[in-house]
Structure 1
Amino acid sequence: MLSRVISKRSLYTAPEFTATVLPPVYKTQEQFDLVRKNQHAHLVNQLNAKVCQTKLEPLTPYQIMEKIRDDKSKASLFNTCSHLINNHLFITNIIPSGEVIEENIVQQRLLDHYQVGSMDEVIEKMVTAMNDSIIGQGFCFIIEDANGDIVPIFSNNAGTVIADSLDLKYMDVDLNGGLLGVKDYLKLYDRMHNIKRSLNRKEKDKRNNVFGSKEGKIEGSHNRILACVNLWDYAFIKDYGIGYKAREEYFVNCLKNLNWEVINQRYNF
């Protein structure tokens, strides 16, 4: 009985995201508080309600996602964890920093990826990609992929590129919602088929027996999130309004006001 009490952890709580000034991306304190306080606390409460008195209760959101990612009956819990983590990453890389970045490695590598000379050109291309990829709600990530390239990637709804609980390594396909656009799914049919096979329990056991547990992981699972932008309506609607033009204006302001100190710390971690 004592061991059960000791191993029991307290409820998840919403962290205090402190900011001495309003992030430039936001026009009102009300909108910023909706993202960092109201919605974040709502997601935390949802997670507590779903894991209370279950075997998942002692686990972190990362660990929960890793454990249930191939269980379709747990899709709602998976998406709550995903949304919570995504919003946390977004808040921490949108709060401005007082430090000056002497060498912005991530930004330079993003310029190299697009083969352009300015962030304005990068932003223009990313806005086009967002409109092609996001159907309704979603997130934008800047990641370091398995090849070491710095690239943007978009997810619909609470889609993620997650999860390995040991660090920020992520799957490149959301297994409980849309990570890629419709055209991308059509182009990558074979890739999706291979992932489906790798999630089959017998197939996973076979791969692990042959290659070992590390090599038996899903191919392409070694991506790392460096930046995240919340593209859900609640993240901007009070300040920018509704519609594609409002989302575009908000997205551009996010990309122009990313906290590159935090992003480069994630890269150097």
Structure 2
Amino acid sequence: MLRQALRLKSVASPLASSFRAAAKLHTVPALPYTVASGAKPLLSPAALKIIYEDHQIGLVNRLNELIAGTPYEEKAFHEVLMDSARSLNEVQIFNNASQAWNNDFFLRTLSSAAEQKPMSEVLAKRISESFGSVEVFKREFTTNALGLFGSGWTWLVEDKDGRLVLLNTYNAGSPHHRRRMQREDETSTDHDFASAAQNPYSGASKFSAPAKLMANSSYVPILCVSMWEHAYLTDYGVTREGRQKYLDNFFKTVDWSVVESRVLRVGGF
């Protein structure tokens, strides 16, 4: 069960500890697989280079520029992320920190072809408790991701009641802070659909997180996929069919032992 306090550290990617240096500069930690080998079948070496070497390093370099000479310069990475999330005047700092954290969390969900193993029975049972079956979970996760209109992230998260739910965040939106999720239902204007569930772009599902959260609420991330164009364009193109193939390959490349360890840290089985 998720405790009342936000437990970012408990499921933090290595960014929370590795993005810290004596020289007051955050650095990008190495991946558990090489760029030259890619993360197949999801990402070719060319695609992984764009995501990791070009995009990720660019985000961290820009973040270092933004926090130079500020109190953030002395803070650990997760502190930069959370503290900037609370300030509406530090959007650029938050966007770069959050996007870097999301990107790292996504990449560390993946495995090299040589390390890929099936989901354990224990994890399958935990997912089935919330979704009915692993197959339903994958279908609904894919539906949410394909319904995300624009750039963003699709997440499997745990809510305050220990339930696994789905969440879409846009741009650099983070599940760690209610004010910074950048969800469509919080930012969009009225549309012509009778309900959000009928909007083909909403990613709405009965397994989706509630549209409105109580004050100070947040989610603990378990799994995410990047739906930013740079993540899939190189290998899959711009079509919906290409994005569907991208998501199919995502599930083939997930390191389920990493996902299981995150669930164990959050609330156990």
TM-score, normalised by the number of residues in structure 2: 0.73
Work out the CA distance in 2 between the residues paired with 1:59 and 1:68. 11
Write the letter of the residue equivalent to 2:172: A
From 168, 171, 174, give the equivalent of 1:157: 171
- Say whether 1:42 aligns with 2:58: yes
| Superposed displacement of residue 130, structure 1 | 2.4
**Residue in structure 2 matched with residue 78 of structure 1 by the alignment:** 94
Contact 2:168 2:183 in 1 (8 A): no
From 246, 249, 259, give the equivalent of 1:250: 246
- Say whether 1:98 aligns with 2:94: no
Write the letter of the residue equivalent to 1:126: F
Work out the CA distance in 2 between the residues paired with 1:87 and 1:81. 10
* CA gap 1:257/1:8 in 2 versus in 1, 3 angstroms: closer
From 174, 180, 203, give the equivalent of 1:175: 180
**Residue in structure 2 matched with residue 208 of structure 1 by the alignment:** none
Work out the CA distance in 2 between the residues paired with 1:81 and 1:31. 22
Work out the CA distance in 2 between the residues paired with 1:149 and 1:25. 30
* CA gap 1:106/1:174 in 2 versus in 1, 3 angstroms: farther
- Say whether 1:32 aligns with 2:32: no
- Say whether 1:241 aligns with 2:241: no
- The structure 1 segments of at least 4 consecutive aligned residues displaced by more than 6 Å after TM superposition are none
| Superposed displacement of residue 151, structure 1 | 1.9
Work out the CA distance in 1 between the residues paired with 2:100 and 2:184. 16
Write the letter of the residue equivalent to 1:156: Y
**Residue in structure 1 matched with residue 129 of structure 2 by the alignment:** 112
Work out the CA distance in 2 between the residues paired with 1:260 and 1:60. 28
CA RMSD of aligned residues (A): 2.8
* CA gap 1:174/1:249 in 2 versus in 1, 3 angstroms: farther
**Residue in structure 1 matched with residue 149 of structure 2 by the alignment:** 135
Contact 1:155 1:180 in 2 (8 A): no
* CA gap 1:104/1:15 in 2 versus in 1, 3 angstroms: farther
| Superposed displacement of residue 95, structure 1 | 2.3
| Superposed displacement of residue 102, structure 1 | 7.7
Write the letter of the residue equivalent to 2:63: L
Q: Deviations over 1:19-45 (max 9, x none)?
A: 164322335211112112211101111
Q: Deviations over 1:138-161 (max 9, x none)?
A: 111111211111222111111110
Work out the CA distance in 2 between the residues paired with 1:83 and 1:247. 20
Q: Deviations over 1:68-114 (max 9, x none)?
A: 22321211211111100000001111123737568343333223322
Work out the CA distance in 2 between the residues paired with 1:44 and 1:12. 7
Contact 1:240 1:247 in 2 (8 A): yes
Contact 1:82 1:159 in 2 (8 A): yes
Question: Kindly, what percent of the aligned residue pairs are identical?
Answer: 19
Q: Which runs of 5 or more structure 2 residues have no equivalent in the other structure?
A: 1-20, 189-195, 203-208
Larger radius of gyration between Structure 1 and Structure 2: 1
**Residue in structure 1 matched with residue 24 of structure 2 by the alignment:** 10
Work out the CA distance in 1 between the residues paired with 2:168 and 2:93. 21
Q: Helix, strand or coil for the counterpart of 2:38?
A: coil
Write the letter of the residue equivalent to 1:254: F
**Residue in structure 2 matched with residue 264 of structure 1 by the alignment:** 260
Q: Helix, strand or coil for the counterpart of 1:158?
A: coil
| Superposed displacement of residue 176, structure 1 | 6.6
From 111, 123, 133, give the equivalent of 2:138: 123
| Superposed displacement of residue 17, structure 1 | 1.2
Work out the CA distance in 1 between the residues paired with 2:51 and 2:61. 15
**Residue in structure 2 matched with residue 227 of structure 1 by the alignment:** 223
